[in-house]
Amino acid sequence: MLLTLSGKDALSLFRRQRLMTSLREIVPDLISLTAGYRYLVDVDEPLDDASIDTLRDLLNCPRQKGAVNAVGESILVTPRPGTVSSWSTKATDIAHTCGLTQVRRIERAVLYTLSVEGWRVLDWDVRQTVAALVHDRMTEVALSPDADLETLFLHAEPVPSQAISLRTGGRAALESANAKLGLALSEA
């Protein structure tokens, strides 16, 4: 079961202004930018009000019941699926120490919302360029805010590693391994 809590601003005034300057090169009619933390909490069972209050205190979340969302185009930046961030490991340990044993894992995400003059939907290419500016492709993914976030918490059984001899097989060996393992090889 997934619980989502809204946190405080993720950007300082300086970082917001610097990012707005970069974003205006891509979206000249950008009016404002908000970036707020979202805490994604994977729990075994529903939490009672006292446990939710404890969690809010730990994560420094406002006590408001309903989140106030900015109007505009949003991008949710989360850790890459299949990974557990070091922030998550520490936050989950702290939650357990505080008696929140129903919490399996906590992850932190950032919801970026861009408000554009004469509100319009950003086209695909612009959205991808904006996403590239607000996340690190090595450790994070940029998602739609309505994406299935439960996939971040899926646990896959590890499979044995395999050696691929690029010396003897070259690119053909790599392409064969990608096809066999179900991975797509992007064209360079």
Q: Are 3 and 105 in contact (CB under 8 A)?
A: no
Residue 59 sits in the same domain as residue 89: yes
Residue 108 sits in the same domain as residue 164: no
Residue 175 sits in the same domain as residue 96: no
Residue 105 sits in the same domain as residue 174: no
Residue 101 sits in the same domain as residue 126: yes
pLDDT at position 175: 86
Residue 108 sits in the same domain as residue 182: no
Question: 146: alpha, beta or left, given left = phi > 0 and alpha = psi -120 to 50?
Answer: alpha
The C-alpha R_g of the chain, in whole angstroms, comes to 20
Burial class (CB in 10 A: 0-12, 13-18, 19+), 42: buried
Tokens of 39: 């805490």
Residue 90 sits in the same domain as residue 8: yes
pLDDT at position 124: 87
Residue 33 sits in the same domain as residue 91: yes
pLDDT at position 33: 94
pLDDT in tens, the chain (188 residues): 999 999 999 999 999 999 999 999 999 999 999 999 999 999 999 999 999 999 999 999 987 655 555 678 899 999 998 889 999 999 999 999 999 999 999 999 999 999 988 777 788 899 899 999 999 999 999 998 888 998 888 877 777 788 888 888 888 988 888 887 765 444 43
Alpha helices in 84-165 (DSSP H): 86-97, 124-134
Residue 147 sits in the same domain as residue 103: yes
CA distances, 54 to each of 2, 12, 30, 57 (Å): 17, 26, 37, 5
Residue 138 sits in the same domain as residue 173: no
pLDDT at position 70: 62
Range of the domain at 146: 2-153
As a whole number of angstroms, the distance between CA 34 and CA 151 comes to 25
Residue 87: other Cβ atoms inside 10 A? 12
Residue 133: other Cβ atoms inside 10 A? 14
Residue 125 sits in the same domain as residue 149: yes
Structural domain count of the chain: 2
Residue 73 sits in the same domain as residue 121: yes
